[in-house]
Amino acid sequence: MNEKEIIALLPYQEPFLFVDGIDTVSSEGITGHYTFKEDAYFYKGHFINNPITPGVILTECMAQIGLVCLGIYILKTELKKLIKPEIALTSTHVDFYLPVLPNEKVTVVSKKEVFRFNKLKCSVKMFNKNNELVCRGSISGMIKT
């Protein structure tokens, strides 16, 4: 399964798709990237005259790349029969270190910790263009096949 096939199976679309591309993927982990667009809806009110990407959106970006894309890759044989997989986020714990500004490209690096009974738990990190750690944490979810 290639990058385009994985992204095509994501159950998201603009303006809530936070995956531009996948750089590497294996059954043990994934690396992908996204650039936060300056005209994104959430910048209008967060914060006035000082737009910063909300932490919940950073978490969503990490979940889409680091959990959902990886889960789709791991379950590629089963998911080829489906139009869109059903996905449920089950838990997150994320620590934030640096802000992400409009037009900033981030890279998400995820390592599989556990995959059992279609539940995936990953250790996920997000880096900015200077390879500085923006945030990191643990994200878990389930994919229904």
Look up the pTM and report it.
0.94
Q: What is the DSSP letter of 56?
A: H
The CATH number of residue 105's host domain is 3.10.129.10
User: Which residues form the domain of 17?
Assistant: 3-144
What contacts 138, CB < 8 A, 6 or more positions away?
A: 91, 92, 93, 113, 121, 122, 123, 124
In this predicted model, what pLDDT tens digit does every residue of 56-78 receive, in sequence order? 999 999 999 999 999 999 988 77
* CA 47 centroid distance within chain: 23
Residue 110: per-residue pLDDT: 98
What contacts 91, CB < 8 A, 6 or more positions away?
A: 138, 139, 140
Number of domains in the chain: 1
| CA pair distance 38, 86, nearest whole angstrom | 30
Question: Which residues are tagged catalytic?
Answer: 46
